[in-house]
Protein backbone atom coordinates (compact mmCIF):
# COMPACT_ATOMS: atom_id res chain seq x y z
CA UNK A 1 0.00 0.00 0.00
CA UNK A 2 1.43 3.34 -0.91
CA UNK A 3 0.10 6.44 0.81
CA UNK A 4 -0.20 9.61 -1.15
CA UNK A 5 1.91 11.76 1.10
CA UNK A 6 4.35 12.08 -1.71
CA UNK A 7 1.70 13.77 -3.77
CA UNK A 8 4.01 16.69 -3.27
CA UNK A 9 2.49 18.54 -6.10
CA UNK A 10 -0.74 18.42 -4.25
CA UNK A 11 0.55 19.67 -0.87
CA UNK A 12 2.84 22.25 -2.40
CA UNK A 13 0.03 23.39 -4.65
CA UNK A 14 -2.02 24.35 -1.65
CA UNK A 15 -1.97 27.89 -0.35
CA UNK A 16 0.82 28.08 2.26
CA UNK A 17 -1.54 28.23 5.29
CA UNK A 18 -3.31 25.11 4.11
CA UNK A 19 -0.01 23.39 3.38
CA UNK A 20 1.05 24.05 6.99
CA UNK A 21 -1.97 22.19 8.30
CA UNK A 22 -1.93 19.39 5.75
CA UNK A 23 1.73 18.57 6.28
CA UNK A 24 1.42 18.76 10.06
CA UNK A 25 -1.49 16.34 10.03
CA UNK A 26 0.26 13.93 7.74
CA UNK A 27 3.32 13.89 10.03
CA UNK A 28 1.13 13.54 13.10
CA UNK A 29 -0.57 10.53 11.64
CA UNK A 30 2.64 8.79 10.68
CA UNK A 31 4.43 9.63 13.92
CA UNK A 32 7.93 8.18 14.24
CA UNK A 33 10.13 8.05 17.37
CA UNK A 34 13.68 9.38 17.61
CA UNK A 35 16.26 7.89 15.18
CA UNK A 36 13.35 6.18 13.38
CA UNK A 37 12.00 9.24 11.45
CA UNK A 38 12.58 7.57 8.08
CA UNK A 39 9.28 8.51 6.48
CA UNK A 40 9.39 12.04 7.91
CA UNK A 41 12.96 12.64 6.76
CA UNK A 42 12.18 11.15 3.34
CA UNK A 43 9.36 13.60 2.97
CA UNK A 44 11.55 16.49 4.09
CA UNK A 45 14.20 15.42 1.60
CA UNK A 46 11.80 15.23 -1.30
CA UNK A 47 10.10 18.52 -0.52
CA UNK A 48 13.42 20.34 -0.21
CA UNK A 49 14.65 18.80 -3.44
CA UNK A 50 11.46 19.66 -5.27
CA UNK A 51 11.83 23.26 -4.10
CA UNK A 52 15.37 23.48 -5.37
CA UNK A 53 17.29 23.24 -2.10
CA UNK A 54 20.57 21.42 -2.01
CA UNK A 55 20.00 18.49 0.32
CA UNK A 56 22.47 16.63 2.52
CA UNK A 57 21.23 13.72 4.57
CA UNK A 58 21.99 10.51 6.43
CA UNK A 59 25.63 9.87 7.30
CA UNK A 60 26.60 13.22 5.75
CA UNK A 61 24.85 15.09 8.55
CA UNK A 62 24.82 12.50 11.37
CA UNK A 63 27.99 11.44 13.17
CA UNK A 64 27.06 7.93 14.26
CA UNK A 65 29.52 7.92 17.14
CA UNK A 66 27.99 11.05 18.65
CA UNK A 67 24.45 9.67 18.72
CA UNK A 68 22.85 8.90 22.07
CA UNK A 69 19.98 6.62 22.92
CA UNK A 70 19.67 4.83 19.60
CA UNK A 71 16.89 2.23 19.92
CA UNK A 72 17.30 -1.47 19.26
CA UNK A 73 17.80 -2.79 15.75
CA UNK A 74 14.34 -4.35 15.94
CA UNK A 75 12.77 -0.96 16.51
CA UNK A 76 14.84 0.64 13.77
CA UNK A 77 13.83 -2.12 11.38
CA UNK A 78 10.18 -1.89 12.32
CA UNK A 79 9.91 1.79 11.50
CA UNK A 80 11.98 1.42 8.34
CA UNK A 81 9.52 -1.18 7.09
CA UNK A 82 6.58 0.98 8.12
CA UNK A 83 8.09 3.98 6.31
CA UNK A 84 8.32 1.98 3.10
CA UNK A 85 4.80 0.66 3.58
CA UNK A 86 3.44 4.17 4.07
CA UNK A 87 5.01 5.63 0.97
CA UNK A 88 8.64 6.52 1.71
CA UNK A 89 10.91 6.49 -1.34
CA UNK A 90 12.97 3.31 -0.92
CA UNK A 91 16.18 4.78 -2.30
CA UNK A 92 16.07 7.79 0.01
CA UNK A 93 14.95 5.67 2.94
CA UNK A 94 17.95 3.44 2.46
CA UNK A 95 20.24 6.41 3.18
CA UNK A 96 18.32 7.28 6.33
CA UNK A 97 17.83 3.86 7.83
CA UNK A 98 19.51 2.55 10.98
CA UNK A 99 19.39 5.83 12.82
CA UNK A 100 20.67 8.29 10.21
CA UNK A 101 17.51 10.37 10.00
CA UNK A 102 18.92 13.89 9.75
CA UNK A 103 18.40 16.23 6.77
CA UNK A 104 19.92 19.62 5.96
CA UNK A 105 18.62 21.89 3.16
CA UNK A 106 20.98 24.55 1.84
CA UNK A 107 20.26 27.63 -0.28
CA UNK A 108 23.40 29.52 -1.16
CA UNK A 109 23.36 32.94 -2.76
CA UNK A 110 26.01 34.27 -5.10
CA UNK A 111 26.03 37.45 -3.05
CA UNK A 112 28.07 37.49 0.15
CA UNK A 113 26.20 37.44 3.41
CA UNK A 114 25.82 35.63 6.68
CA UNK A 115 25.15 31.95 7.15
CA UNK A 116 21.76 31.67 8.83
CA UNK A 117 20.57 28.33 10.24
CA UNK A 118 17.03 27.37 11.23
CA UNK A 119 16.49 24.18 13.19
CA UNK A 120 13.37 22.00 13.32
CA UNK A 121 13.00 18.76 15.24
CA UNK A 122 11.10 15.87 13.71
CA UNK A 123 10.61 13.08 16.26
CA UNK A 124 7.43 11.98 17.99
CA UNK A 125 7.51 10.77 21.55
CA UNK A 126 6.64 7.65 23.51
CA UNK A 127 3.15 7.97 24.89
CA UNK A 128 -0.31 6.66 24.24
CA UNK A 129 -2.41 9.15 22.30
CA UNK A 130 -5.88 9.80 23.57
CA UNK A 131 -8.64 8.01 21.69
CA UNK A 132 -11.25 10.50 22.84
CA UNK A 133 -13.51 12.20 20.32
CA UNK A 134 -12.57 15.41 22.11
CA UNK A 135 -9.05 14.99 20.76
CA UNK A 136 -8.85 16.82 17.41
CA UNK A 137 -6.50 14.28 15.75
CA UNK A 138 -9.09 11.60 16.46
CA UNK A 139 -11.98 13.74 15.33
CA UNK A 140 -10.19 14.78 12.16
CA UNK A 141 -8.71 11.43 11.31
CA UNK A 142 -5.03 12.09 11.80
CA UNK A 143 -4.33 10.32 15.08
CA UNK A 144 -1.07 8.37 15.14
CA UNK A 145 -1.21 4.98 13.47
CA UNK A 146 1.50 3.70 15.83
CA UNK A 147 0.20 2.71 19.27
CA UNK A 148 2.44 4.23 21.91
CA UNK A 149 4.11 6.74 19.58
CA UNK A 150 2.59 10.16 19.53
CA UNK A 151 3.42 13.73 18.49
CA UNK A 152 2.71 15.10 21.96
CA UNK A 153 5.30 17.86 21.88
CA UNK A 154 4.49 19.71 18.66
CA UNK A 155 7.44 18.56 16.56
CA UNK A 156 4.97 17.73 13.78
CA UNK A 157 4.17 21.45 13.74
CA UNK A 158 7.86 22.37 13.86
CA UNK A 159 8.70 20.23 10.83
CA UNK A 160 5.71 21.54 8.97
CA UNK A 161 6.93 25.08 9.71
CA UNK A 162 10.34 24.14 8.33
CA UNK A 163 8.91 22.86 5.08
CA UNK A 164 6.70 25.92 4.66
CA UNK A 165 9.68 28.17 5.38
CA UNK A 166 11.60 26.25 2.73
CA UNK A 167 8.86 27.05 0.19
CA UNK A 168 8.61 30.74 1.12
CA UNK A 169 12.37 31.25 1.06
CA UNK A 170 12.69 29.36 -2.23
CA UNK A 171 10.20 31.74 -3.73
CA UNK A 172 12.34 34.66 -2.53
CA UNK A 173 15.65 33.11 -3.46
CA UNK A 174 16.65 35.95 -5.72
CA UNK A 175 16.58 38.35 -2.79
CA UNK A 176 18.86 36.21 -0.65
CA UNK A 177 22.45 36.88 0.32
CA UNK A 178 24.88 34.52 2.03
CA UNK A 179 23.52 31.11 2.92
CA UNK A 180 20.40 29.68 4.51
CA UNK A 181 20.48 26.26 6.16
CA UNK A 182 17.39 24.41 7.26
CA UNK A 183 18.35 21.76 9.79
CA UNK A 184 15.87 18.95 10.33
CA UNK A 185 17.01 17.12 13.44
CA UNK A 186 16.05 13.67 14.70
CA UNK A 187 15.69 12.52 18.31
CA UNK A 188 15.24 15.73 20.26
CA UNK A 189 13.17 13.86 22.85
CA UNK A 190 15.64 12.54 25.37
CA UNK A 191 18.29 15.00 24.09
CA UNK A 192 19.76 12.43 21.76
CA UNK A 193 20.13 13.95 18.32
CA UNK A 194 21.65 17.44 18.32
CA UNK A 195 25.18 16.38 19.22
CA UNK A 196 25.36 13.99 16.29
CA UNK A 197 24.49 16.78 13.81
CA UNK A 198 26.92 19.20 15.48
CA UNK A 199 29.64 16.56 15.36
CA UNK A 200 28.94 16.01 11.63
CA UNK A 201 29.55 19.69 11.02
CA UNK A 202 25.98 20.77 10.35
CA UNK A 203 26.55 23.98 12.28
CA UNK A 204 29.99 24.78 10.91
CA UNK A 205 30.29 28.36 9.80
CA UNK A 206 26.87 29.41 11.03
CA UNK A 207 26.64 33.09 11.99
CA UNK A 208 23.06 33.13 13.20
CA UNK A 209 21.09 30.27 14.68
CA UNK A 210 17.32 30.34 15.03
CA UNK A 211 15.10 27.75 16.70
CA UNK A 212 11.53 27.92 17.90
CA UNK A 213 9.04 25.94 19.96
CA UNK A 214 5.25 25.90 20.10
CA UNK A 215 3.47 26.57 23.38
CA UNK A 216 6.31 26.70 25.91
CA UNK A 217 5.55 29.33 28.59
CA UNK A 218 3.35 30.97 25.92
CA UNK A 219 -0.23 29.78 25.94
CA UNK A 220 -1.97 32.56 24.04
CA UNK A 221 -2.51 32.70 20.30
CA UNK A 222 -0.69 35.79 19.08
CA UNK A 223 1.95 35.69 21.80
CA UNK A 224 5.65 35.56 20.90
CA UNK A 225 8.48 35.04 23.38
CA UNK A 226 11.38 36.69 21.57
CA UNK A 227 14.09 34.64 23.23
CA UNK A 228 14.20 31.86 25.81
CA UNK A 229 16.83 31.95 28.50
CA UNK A 230 18.07 29.21 30.75
CA UNK A 231 17.24 26.23 28.64
CA UNK A 232 18.31 23.67 31.22
CA UNK A 233 21.32 21.54 30.49
CA UNK A 234 20.63 17.90 31.16
CA UNK A 235 22.13 14.46 31.29
CA UNK A 236 20.01 11.31 31.09
CA UNK A 237 21.60 8.17 32.51
CA UNK A 238 20.57 4.53 32.52
CA UNK A 239 22.17 2.83 35.47
CA UNK A 240 22.49 -0.89 35.96
CA UNK A 241 23.59 -2.75 39.06
CA UNK A 242 24.56 -6.41 38.86
CA UNK A 243 24.98 -8.50 41.98
CA UNK A 244 24.68 -12.14 42.93
CA UNK A 245 21.47 -14.04 43.59
CA UNK A 246 21.06 -16.28 46.63
CA UNK A 247 18.24 -17.96 48.52
CA UNK A 248 16.97 -15.26 50.82
CA UNK A 249 16.23 -17.65 53.69
CA UNK A 250 19.01 -20.20 53.39
CA UNK A 251 21.99 -18.08 52.42
CA UNK A 252 21.20 -14.36 52.44
CA UNK A 253 24.82 -13.53 53.29
CA UNK A 254 25.98 -15.03 50.03
CA UNK A 255 23.90 -12.65 47.92
CA UNK A 256 25.08 -9.34 46.55
CA UNK A 257 21.98 -7.20 46.58
CA UNK A 258 21.61 -5.07 43.46
CA UNK A 259 18.17 -3.84 44.50
CA UNK A 260 19.53 -2.37 47.72
CA UNK A 261 22.34 -0.67 45.81
CA UNK A 262 19.71 0.88 43.53
CA UNK A 263 17.57 2.05 46.45
CA UNK A 264 20.52 3.57 48.28
CA UNK A 265 21.67 5.25 45.09
CA UNK A 266 18.18 6.59 44.37
CA UNK A 267 17.84 8.06 47.82
CA UNK A 268 21.26 9.64 47.83
CA UNK A 269 20.88 10.99 44.29
CA UNK A 270 17.75 12.81 45.40
CA UNK A 271 19.77 14.13 48.36
CA UNK A 272 22.55 15.67 46.24
CA UNK A 273 23.05 19.13 47.72
CA UNK A 274 21.67 22.19 46.00
CA UNK A 275 24.24 24.23 44.07
CA UNK A 276 24.88 27.64 45.55
CA UNK A 277 25.13 29.36 42.20
CA UNK A 278 22.80 27.48 39.90
CA UNK A 279 19.40 25.94 39.75
CA UNK A 280 19.53 22.14 39.69
CA UNK A 281 17.08 19.30 39.23
CA UNK A 282 17.41 15.59 39.84
CA UNK A 283 14.93 12.86 39.07
CA UNK A 284 14.98 9.13 39.45
CA UNK A 285 12.24 8.40 36.97
CA UNK A 286 12.25 4.61 36.90
CA UNK A 287 13.42 1.79 39.06
CA UNK A 288 13.18 -1.93 38.62
CA UNK A 289 14.93 -4.77 40.33
CA UNK A 290 14.78 -8.34 41.50
CA UNK A 291 13.96 -11.70 40.04
CA UNK A 292 11.95 -13.55 42.65
CA UNK A 293 10.37 -12.79 45.99
CA UNK A 294 12.56 -15.29 47.79
CA UNK A 295 15.90 -14.54 46.17
CA UNK A 296 18.43 -11.81 46.93
CA UNK A 297 18.02 -9.53 43.89
CA UNK A 298 20.89 -9.79 41.45
CA UNK A 299 19.87 -7.04 39.05
CA UNK A 300 18.43 -3.56 39.28
CA UNK A 301 18.06 -0.57 36.99
CA UNK A 302 17.51 3.15 37.41
CA UNK A 303 16.68 5.79 34.81
CA UNK A 304 17.68 9.21 36.02
CA UNK A 305 18.08 12.72 34.73
CA UNK A 306 20.15 15.59 36.03
CA UNK A 307 19.49 19.19 35.01
CA UNK A 308 21.00 22.57 35.69
CA UNK A 309 20.79 26.06 34.32
CA UNK A 310 24.51 26.40 33.91
CA UNK A 311 27.44 24.25 32.95
CA UNK A 312 29.29 24.34 36.27
CA UNK A 313 26.22 23.16 38.12
CA UNK A 314 25.57 20.36 35.62
CA UNK A 315 29.18 19.22 35.84
CA UNK A 316 28.88 19.25 39.62
CA UNK A 317 25.77 17.05 39.43
CA UNK A 318 27.43 14.61 37.07
CA UNK A 319 30.45 14.16 39.29
CA UNK A 320 28.36 13.91 42.42
CA UNK A 321 25.98 11.39 40.82
CA UNK A 322 28.91 9.31 39.73
CA UNK A 323 30.17 9.20 43.30
CA UNK A 324 26.78 8.25 44.66
CA UNK A 325 26.34 5.43 42.18
CA UNK A 326 29.79 4.00 42.65
CA UNK A 327 29.54 4.38 46.43
CA UNK A 328 26.23 2.50 46.46
CA UNK A 329 27.75 -0.25 44.33
CA UNK A 330 30.78 -0.61 46.60
CA UNK A 331 28.53 -0.61 49.64
CA UNK A 332 26.63 -3.64 48.34
CA UNK A 333 29.54 -5.23 46.49
CA UNK A 334 27.81 -5.15 43.12
CA UNK A 335 28.99 -4.09 39.68
CA UNK A 336 27.54 -0.99 38.08
CA UNK A 337 27.29 0.66 34.73
CA UNK A 338 25.97 4.13 33.95
CA UNK A 339 25.20 4.78 30.31
CA UNK A 340 24.37 8.30 29.06
CA UNK A 341 21.32 8.05 26.81
CA UNK A 342 20.79 11.75 26.31
CA UNK A 343 22.70 14.94 26.98
CA UNK A 344 22.55 18.60 26.26
CA UNK A 345 24.22 21.68 27.66
CA UNK A 346 22.41 24.73 29.02
CA UNK A 347 22.02 27.79 26.81
CA UNK A 348 20.35 31.18 26.63
CA UNK A 349 19.36 33.33 23.68
CA UNK A 350 21.61 36.22 22.75
CA UNK A 351 19.89 39.45 23.72
CA UNK A 352 20.77 41.01 20.37
CA UNK A 353 18.95 38.33 18.38
CA UNK A 354 16.03 38.25 20.80
CA UNK A 355 15.58 41.96 20.15
CA UNK A 356 15.65 41.25 16.41
CA UNK A 357 12.98 38.56 16.82
CA UNK A 358 10.88 40.91 18.97
CA UNK A 359 11.10 43.66 16.38
CA UNK A 360 10.20 41.27 13.58
CA UNK A 361 7.26 39.87 15.51
CA UNK A 362 5.87 43.28 16.31
CA UNK A 363 5.37 43.90 12.61
CA UNK A 364 2.98 40.94 12.25
CA UNK A 365 -0.68 41.89 12.63
CA UNK A 366 -1.69 38.61 14.25
CA UNK A 367 0.97 39.03 16.93
CA UNK A 368 -0.71 40.70 19.86
CA UNK A 369 1.82 40.20 22.61
CA UNK A 370 5.62 40.15 22.39
CA UNK A 371 7.58 39.25 25.51
CA UNK A 372 11.28 40.02 25.45
CA UNK A 373 12.34 36.89 27.26
CA UNK A 374 11.24 34.02 29.43
CA UNK A 375 12.94 31.15 31.22
CA UNK A 376 12.48 27.97 29.23
CA UNK A 377 12.39 25.91 32.52
CA UNK A 378 12.89 22.67 30.65
CA UNK A 379 15.53 21.20 28.36
CA UNK A 380 15.90 21.12 24.56
CA UNK A 381 19.00 19.99 22.75
CA UNK A 382 18.75 23.00 20.45
CA UNK A 383 20.95 24.30 23.27
CA UNK A 384 23.82 22.19 21.92
CA UNK A 385 23.53 23.95 18.56
CA UNK A 386 23.16 27.39 20.18
CA UNK A 387 26.24 26.85 22.30
CA UNK A 388 28.18 25.61 19.26
CA UNK A 389 27.28 28.68 17.22
CA UNK A 390 27.97 31.01 20.16
CA UNK A 391 31.34 29.41 20.78
CA UNK A 392 32.37 29.99 17.15
CA UNK A 393 31.49 33.67 17.50
CA UNK A 394 27.95 33.57 16.15
CA UNK A 395 24.66 34.46 17.78
CA UNK A 396 21.71 32.25 18.65
CA UNK A 397 18.09 32.66 19.57
CA UNK A 398 15.37 30.22 20.56
CA UNK A 399 11.95 31.81 20.43
CA UNK A 400 8.45 30.79 21.44
CA UNK A 401 5.23 30.75 19.46
CA UNK A 402 2.16 31.08 21.64
CA UNK A 403 -0.71 28.67 21.37
CA UNK A 404 -3.41 27.41 23.69
CA UNK A 405 -2.84 23.74 24.50
CA UNK A 406 -5.55 21.16 25.06
CA UNK A 407 -3.27 19.55 27.61
CA UNK A 408 0.34 20.04 28.59
CA UNK A 409 3.23 18.69 26.57
CA UNK A 410 3.64 14.89 26.78
CA UNK A 411 0.01 14.43 27.79
CA UNK A 412 -2.20 11.96 25.85
CA UNK A 413 -4.47 14.91 24.99
CA UNK A 414 -1.73 17.32 23.93
CA UNK A 415 -2.81 19.40 20.96
CA UNK A 416 -2.11 22.94 19.80
CA UNK A 417 -4.05 25.54 17.83
CA UNK A 418 -3.05 25.11 14.19
CA UNK A 419 -3.47 28.83 13.61
CA UNK A 420 -0.21 29.26 15.56
CA UNK A 421 1.57 27.70 12.57
CA UNK A 422 0.74 30.67 10.37
CA UNK A 423 2.01 33.11 12.97
CA UNK A 424 5.14 31.03 13.47
CA UNK A 425 5.83 31.00 9.75
CA UNK A 426 5.45 34.75 9.41
CA UNK A 427 7.81 35.28 12.33
CA UNK A 428 10.39 32.93 10.88
CA UNK A 429 10.15 34.61 7.51
CA UNK A 430 10.60 38.09 8.90
CA UNK A 431 13.46 36.91 11.13
CA UNK A 432 15.16 35.41 8.10
CA UNK A 433 14.81 38.67 6.22
CA UNK A 434 16.05 40.74 9.14
CA UNK A 435 19.10 38.51 9.56
CA UNK A 436 19.86 38.67 5.88
CA UNK A 437 19.73 42.41 6.16
CA UNK A 438 22.38 42.39 8.90
CA UNK A 439 25.15 41.23 6.65
Contacts with a second copy: how many residues (CB under 8 A)? 70
Strands 233-242 and 335-344: antiparallel
- The Cα–Cα gap between 417 and 131 comes to 19
Q: Does 83 bind a second copy (CB under 8 A)?
A: no
Nearest distance from C-beta of residue 288 to a second copy, angstroms:
5
Q: Does 335 bind a second copy (CB under 8 A)?
A: no
Of 23, 38, 260, 396, the residue at the interface with a second copy (CB under 8 A) is: 260
Whether 419 contacts 221, CB under 8 Å:
yes
Contact track, a second copy, 86-125, x by CB under 8 A? ----------------------------------------
Q: Does 65 bind a second copy (CB under 8 A)?
A: no
| Opening angle at CA 400, ends 399 and 403, nearest 5 | 165
Nearest distance from C-beta of residue 286 to a second copy, angstroms:
4
**Nearer Cβ to a second copy (129/305):** 305
Q: Does 162 bind a second copy (CB under 8 A)?
A: no
Q: Does 304 bind a second copy (CB under 8 A)?
A: yes
Nearest distance from C-beta of residue 217 to a second copy, angstroms:
10
Of 81, 82, 173, 275, the residue at the interface with a second copy (CB under 8 A) is: 275
Whether 210 contacts 118, CB under 8 Å:
yes
- Cβ burial of 72 (10 Å; 0-12, 13-18, 19+) is exposed
Nearest distance from C-beta of residue 284 to a second copy, angstroms:
6
Q: Does 331 bind a second copy (CB under 8 A)?
A: yes
In the window 4-43, what residues touch a second copy (CB under 8 A)? none
Q: Does 348 bind a second copy (CB under 8 A)?
A: no
Q: Does 187 bind a second copy (CB under 8 A)?
A: no
**Nearer Cβ to a second copy (171/408):** 408
**What does the CA dihedral 238, 241, 247, 248 come to, rounded to 10 degrees?**
-80
Q: Does 332 bind a second copy (CB under 8 A)?
A: yes
273-312 as b/e, with b when 16 or more CB fall inside 10 Å?
eebeebbbbbebeebebbeeeeebbbbbbbebbbbbbbee
Q: Does 407 bind a second copy (CB under 8 A)?
A: no
Of 54, 283, 368, 439, the residue at the interface with a second copy (CB under 8 A) is: 283
Q: Does 147 bind a second copy (CB under 8 A)?
A: no
Contact track, a second copy, 220-259, x by CB under 8 A? ------------x---x----------xxxxxxxxx-x-x
Contact window for a second copy (CB under 8 A) among 88-96, 113-121, 303-311, 353-361: 303-311
Q: Does 286 bind a second copy (CB under 8 A)?
A: yes
Q: Does 314 bind a second copy (CB under 8 A)?
A: no
A 10 A CB-CB count for 141 gives: 9
Nearest distance from C-beta of residue 398 to a second copy, angstroms:
16
Contact track, a second copy, 188-207, x by CB under 8 A? --x-----------------
**Interface with a second copy (CB under 8 A):** 190, 232, 236, 247-255, 257, 259-260, 262-264, 266-268, 270-271, 273-277, 279-297, 300, 303-305, 307, 313, 316, 320, 323-324, 326-333, 377-379, 408, 410
Amino acid sequence: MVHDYLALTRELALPVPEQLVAVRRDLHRFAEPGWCEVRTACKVTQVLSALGWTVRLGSDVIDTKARLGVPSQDTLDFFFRKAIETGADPATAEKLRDGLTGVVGILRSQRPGPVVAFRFDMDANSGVESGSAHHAPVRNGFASIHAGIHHNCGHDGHTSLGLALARVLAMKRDELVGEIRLIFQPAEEGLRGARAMVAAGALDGVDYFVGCHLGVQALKLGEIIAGYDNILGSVKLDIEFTGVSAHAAISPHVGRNALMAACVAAQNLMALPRHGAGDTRINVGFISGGESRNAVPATARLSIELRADRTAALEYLKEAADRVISGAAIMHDVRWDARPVGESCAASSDVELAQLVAAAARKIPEVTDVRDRADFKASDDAAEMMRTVQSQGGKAVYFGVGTPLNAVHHNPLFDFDERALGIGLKTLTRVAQALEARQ
